[in-house]
């Protein structure tokens, strides 16, 4: 249920392993794309999709009544948060209510959507048992957090360990057997409860959020002290123990790292506990787009230009390199901020041809009017007062960009080691 960045790769791996899989989604465009063999997710090859569809292992539909013919159901729906940073589990609730309506006896139901500890037992279970059915007897319920890392060429569903927490022992056992059909058995890790599995996912991403926030705060300090934070990190990375490098950037994006801290801090209040450290980290990370805007404004001022009326190119709008996903992308916040200050913004991104309300395949909350990616040329680059590097896509020809731009604000340190060009100033965060 849900054919996005989690659901479609999962469906494909099960189909590749010989399971008969049906993907369900409300977006008819996704269903149409699947049957045409056109992948809308960068981690899924269109040839793989076309092959398993033609072989009959993967079907797709908007009709949820198909649930009554399935032995196992994976819930892979979005779990966004509100403007007030409160979790929105309405998609999970709707999925659970739909499953209850079409439930097949002895069905295994697995929630993969990232959420706060307690969701499986406190939200999903009561809905499924509403008609008198009992977990462990009439159906089985599990939480198993997705560990998708978009753009990662080394780790995927098949070779990434899978954590499983069932409501009861049989739920866990059945899910373990099921996942072992696509993942090596030794990589399937059962835990004692859904809450443990739910908390595991949050710990993984909050760990990254906290460490990214630490390096972002040190970046602010290093900037005031006129110290190159990138060189500091490079030097510290020479230590073979006790140090793990994290890097600054324009902010954090995607569905997990910007979201998960708020899921846990919201739930913590139920226990009269305030996760100040976690919330502070999220606050620091959210401040990075404003820091990039300030650095860009300062760089333009030094070049004798006002940000109002300046022509600026944003290099990349995805939330990380080499993917076509702009959800919660800090690049969008930078574009919004500079636009609000009167700058004229273009963007280029080889993976995202258009952005703005209604233009994305996946909905992206943004105040940006519809924009299209521009094609780069030496002449085109020379027309901009400033180029802001927001994403380090491998397809970007950084030496070419550096050679032809007038002013560059580099948030990714991709200009490191490049020979200085006459008349080109590079500013790093």
Which residues are known catalytic residues?
256
DSSP collapsed to 3 states, the chain: CCCCCCHHHHHHHHHHCCCCEEEECCCHHHHHHHHCCCCCCCCCCHHHHHHHHHCCCEEEECCHHHHHHCCEEEECCCCCECCCCCECCHHHHHHHHHHHHHCCCCEEEEECCCCCCCHHHHHHHHHHCCCCCCECCCEEEEECCCCCCCCCCCCCHHHCCEEEEECCHHHHHHHHHHHCCCCCHHHEEEECCHHHHHHHHHHHHHHHHHHHHHHHHHHHHHHHCCCCHHHHHHHHCCCCCCCCCCCCCCCCCCCCCCCHHHHHHHHHHHHCCCCHHHHHHHHHHHCHHHHHHHHHHHHHHHCCCCCCCCEEEEECCCCCCCCCCCCCCHHHHHHHHHHHCCCEEEEECCCCCEECCCCCCCCCCCCCCCEECCCCCHHHHHCCCEEEECCCCCCCCHHHHHHHCCEEEECCCCCCCCCCCCCCEEEEC
């Amino acid at each position: 249920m849900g054919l996005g960045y989690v659901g479609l790769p999962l469906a494909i791996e099960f189909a590749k392993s010989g399971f008969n899989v049906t993907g369900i989604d409300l977006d008819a465009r996704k269903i149409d794309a699947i049957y045409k063999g056109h992948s809308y997710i960068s981690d899924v090859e269109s040839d793989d999709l076309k092959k398993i569809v033609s072989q009959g292992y993967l079907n797709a539909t908007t009709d949820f009544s198909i649930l009554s013919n399935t032995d196992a159901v994976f819930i892979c729906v979005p779990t966004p948060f509100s403007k007030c940073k409160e979790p929105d589990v309405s998609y999970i609730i709707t999925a659970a209510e739909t499953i209850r309506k079409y439930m097949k006896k002895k069905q295994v139901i697995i929630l993969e959507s990232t959420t706060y500890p307690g969701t499986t037992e406190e939200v999903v279970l009561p809905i499924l048992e509403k008609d008198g059915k009992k977990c462990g007897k009439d159906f089985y319920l599990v939480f198993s957090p997705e560990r998708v890392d978009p753009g990662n060429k080394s780790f995927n569903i098949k070779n990434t360990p899978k954590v499983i927490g069932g409501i009861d022992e049989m739920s866990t056992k059945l899910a373990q057997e099921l996942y072992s059909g696509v993942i090596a058995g030794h990589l399937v890790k059962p835990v004692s409860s859904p809450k443990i599995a739910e908390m595991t996912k949050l710990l993984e991403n909050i760990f990254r959020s906290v460490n990214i926030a630490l390096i972002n705060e040190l970046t602010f300090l290093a900037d005031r002290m006129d110290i190159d934070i990138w060189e500091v990190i490079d030097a510290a990375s020479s230590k073979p123990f006790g140090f793990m490098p994290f890097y600054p950037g324009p902010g954090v994006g995607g569905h997990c790292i910007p979201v998960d801290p708020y899921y846990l801090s919201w739930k913590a209040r139920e226990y009269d506990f305030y996760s100040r450290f976690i919330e502070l980290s999220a606050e620091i990370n959210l401040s990075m787009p404003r820091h990039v805007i300030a650095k860009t404004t300062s760089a333009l001022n030094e070049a004798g230009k006002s940000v109002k009326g300046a022509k600026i190119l944003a290099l990349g709008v995805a939330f990380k390199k080499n993917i076509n996903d702009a959800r919660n992308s800090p690049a969008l916040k930078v574009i919004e901020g500079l636009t609000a200050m009167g700058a004229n913004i273009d963007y280029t991104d080889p993976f995202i041809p258009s952005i703005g309300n209604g233009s994305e395949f996946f909905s992206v909350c943004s105040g940006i009017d519809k924009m299209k990616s521009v094609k780069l040329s030496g002449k085109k680059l020379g027309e901009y007062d400033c180029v802001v590097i927001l994403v380090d896509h491998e397809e970007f020809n950084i030496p070419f960009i550096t050679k032809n731009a007038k002013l560059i604000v580099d948030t990714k340190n991709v200009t490191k080691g490049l020979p200085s060009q006459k008349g080109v100033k590079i500013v790093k965060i």
